[in-house]
Amino acid sequence: MIDKNRSYWVIISNKVYYTNKNGRALLYNTENGQYIITSNKMHISVLEDMHRKQALGVVKLGEQELLNNDIYNFLCDAVNKDIFKYVDTEQYPTRPIQLMPILSLHKEVEKLTKRDGRLLGLNAGKQLLSAVLYLNNECVLQCEYCGVYNRQFLHCGKTENGGEMDFDLLKSILNQLRSTQIQTLHITGANIFKYGKFERLANLLKEYRFNVNIYFHLSNYNIKSVSLLKDFKHNIFIHFPLSPLDNDVLKNIAVDNIIFHFVITSDNDYAQSQQIIEQYNLSNTVFHPFFTGENIIFFEENTFLSENDILESEVKQKTIFANQKLNSNFYGTLHFCSDGNVFSNPNAEPLENIKNMPLLDLIYKEMIENTSWRKIRNEKPCSDCNYQYLCPPVSNYETAIGRPNLCTVF
């Protein structure tokens, strides 16, 4: 129990994220999700004193402050939410030491800027975690938004200036990927089963340690070709309305080792997907909202975050720190088009063609030039918001919709 007639060292937990934007402060406990939002000037004065560099998260509150009910109730609330702790100054006359967390993610970038052969190679290779290969541009389906889906999420589709990836180029890319920390290899294209060297590709992939994911449209399902890739994870895209052929495939397909990706543009699409999941007993499913340019209301009602959505998501400290320096939606992934052009993101400009620049130099270039990997919420209105780094990082949806934030706070 806090005695108003005594004085205390008040200590902010090193698990609490604090931000103050435009006279409105947020204290967010990253361990239990408890929070306090305040615009009270006395509260903010205490918080600002506590966050002075020399204060190290500790401030002394005595009888003068505690007899003020605003300060006292604020302190009690923060203590109850494990945001503050306190110790009696008579028992502990010396200011406690509180080790505050320090953001150090920038060090990898600083190391990379030291262009010293071996150091550059070792560190650049560690940054690449996944790669996307676009094999070809041949497909007969004529989907309305072909080439647009994959600008919002990983999807099959045609690419600009694409043809069929030369097999020697493909092997060169795979061999260079061996020198990195890559964990997952995504294989896609228009209709990958139309790739001229498909059987050779299937055999080649078995020589590498990557976790391989292949992607194709349900209407392009080919049991003979799929069987050649039975050791890999299959990702099948389902669009509405389904054709009779699509239904036949779903009736007979073996669902093991398959993830079904539903492309959703409306509430009706979502309702149909639920019926299909139940009808065919599909267990591994993913839903991808797709912005058509005309369904903004669907996005506002189903994907935009409210203030409550953000505060109830229990964001961990590690995530908040990461959001200040890198974009987890894009970081560590490179996209290799069939002509050799390499992108950090389908909506970004090409970094270079891998025929002209080695893979490690491409990674280094992205780390320094930052076309996507370190794209954070540092533009208005996000930069004026206390939830700037609690929100998920920028995605391709912001680019598709044409606005910097996907929330209802601003």
pLDDT tens for the chain, 410 residues: list them. 899 999 999 999 999 999 999 999 999 999 999 999 999 999 999 999 999 988 989 999 999 999 999 999 999 999 999 999 999 999 999 999 888 777 665 555 555 555 554 445 457 888 999 999 999 999 999 899 999 999 999 999 998 877 999 999 999 999 999 999 999 999 999 999 999 999 999 999 999 999 999 999 999 998 888 888 888 999 999 999 999 889 999 998 877 789 999 999 999 999 999 999 999 999 899 999 999 999 999 999 999 999 999 999 999 999 999 999 999 999 999 999 999 999 999 999 999 999 999 999 999 999 989 999 999 999 999 999 999 999 999 999 999 999 999 999 98
Same domain, 234 and 136: yes
Contact 227, 195 (CB under 8 A): no
Q: How far apart are CA 195 and CA 201, in angstroms?
A: 9
Helical (H) or strand (E) element with 380: none
Same domain, 254 and 361: yes
Contact 276, 238 (CB under 8 A): yes
What is the per-residue pLDDT for 213?
97
Same domain, 77 and 115: no
Q: pTM for the full model?
A: 0.91
Within a domain: 404: no
Same domain, 125 and 84: no
Same domain, 76 and 206: no
Q: How far apart are CA 171 and CA 167, in angstroms?
A: 6
Residue range of the domain that includes 346? 108-294+331-376
Alpha helix ranges (H) inside 40-145: 41-50, 63-66, 69-80, 106-112, 117-127
Alpha helix ranges (H) inside 193-266: 198-205, 223-228, 244-252
Same domain, 239 and 341: yes
Residues 363, 107, 347, 303, Cα dihedral to 10°: 140
Helices (H) and strands (E) in the chain, counts: 15, 15
Same domain, 141 and 221: yes
Within a domain: 146: yes
Contact 134, 160 (CB under 8 A): no
The CATH number of whichever domain residue 133 belongs to comes to: 3.20.20.70
Same domain, 35 and 160: no
What is the per-residue pLDDT for 118?
44
Same domain, 143 and 214: yes
